[in-house]
Amino acid sequence: MSRIDATFAALKDQNRKGFVAYIMAGDPDEARSLAVMKGLPAAGVDVIELGVPFTDPMADGPTIQLAGQRALEAGMTLEKTLAMARAFRAEDTTTPIVLMGYYNPIYSRGVDKFLVDAQEAGIDGLIVVDLPPEEDDELCLPAQAAGLNFIRLATPTTDAKRLPKVLTNTSGFVYYVSITGITGAAEANAAAVAPEVARIKASTDLPIIVGFGVRTPETAKAIAGIADGCVVGSAIVEQIASGKPVDEILSFVKSLSDGAHSA
């Protein structure tokens, strides 16, 4: 059982919803990014999504694009992202870490080497947004064989014909994208999302975690209430971009996690 599986099993036993937080590795620099990351579990974060900066982040809106640019300009790399995970793991051996990003940096490193290094760094799962199920042999299947969960995104346009393909070989949880478009573009609507979550739940026993458009404690509560939990990314990244002290950023994260956990 992976850390991700264990976390969601524990949440289910406690009848609690999960809260997942996204940050960009190295934004605005390694030290500050690591300080935020280390504080996330105490702020109520159940799973950490750690973004790997990339030069062409096609699924991301301006907020996360800019975060990636800041990280790249500060010298962040995939190697340093894994080092960040290792530094986090030196103090926290239980909170799951999911690397989220694009295939190019992994391909450039070499899949076999990447998987060995990721496992050694304490990575638990991968979300690679530009690898469709048709490319499972590239990374998904080798990752699962190495003990890493491969988490797939479902969207409002994932119809009944496509859904079984998306769910094949998915593990850990299903990330449901609540809106059509890029990250940070609009606010999620629980009433609109609920039937979609129910539709996916009818086809899988995996937890369904909803992201994109969750920006406030109220929305976190509403969205978590109709799923197994929610993800917040852009709203947290905006707090980091504002230059606020780390404790203020973590206080904001805590307000979101409290919202999700109160669902």
Whether 112 is a known active-site residue: answer no
pTM of the model: 0.96
State residue 206's pLDDT score: 98
Work out the pLDDT band at 143, boundaries 50, 70, 90. Answer: very high
Which whole number is the average pLDDT over 150-176? 96
Work out the pLDDT band at 94, boundaries 50, 70, 90. Answer: very high
Which residue is catalytic, options 46, 60, 117, 124? 60
Indicate whether 180 pLDDT > 70.
Answer: no
State residue 199's pLDDT score: 95
Kindly report which listed range (39-53, 83-97, 177-191, 218-232) carries the lowest average pLDDT score. Answer: 177-191
Indicate whether 185 pLDDT > 70.
Answer: no
**d(C-alpha 254, C-alpha 43), whole Å:** 5
Please state, as a whole number, how many other Cβ atoms lie within 10 Å of the Cβ of residue 14: 9
10 Å CB burial of residue 70 (0-12, 13-18, 19+) is buried
CA angle, residues 127, 244, 89, in degrees to nearest 5: 40
Work out the pLDDT band at 182, boundaries 50, 70, 90. Answer: low
Whether 60 is a known active-site residue: answer yes
Indicate whether 259 pLDDT > 90.
Answer: yes
State residue 26's pLDDT score: 98
Which residue is catalytic, options 27, 46, 49, 124? 49
Two structure tokens written together for 186: 């609009």
Coil, strand or helix at 123: coil
State residue 60's pLDDT score: 87
Work out the pLDDT band at 183, boundaries 50, 70, 90. Answer: low
Q: Could you name the CATH architecture of 3-261?
A: Alpha-Beta Barrel (3.20)
State residue 117's pLDDT score: 98
State residue 184's pLDDT score: 56
Indicate whether 198 pLDDT > 60.
Answer: yes
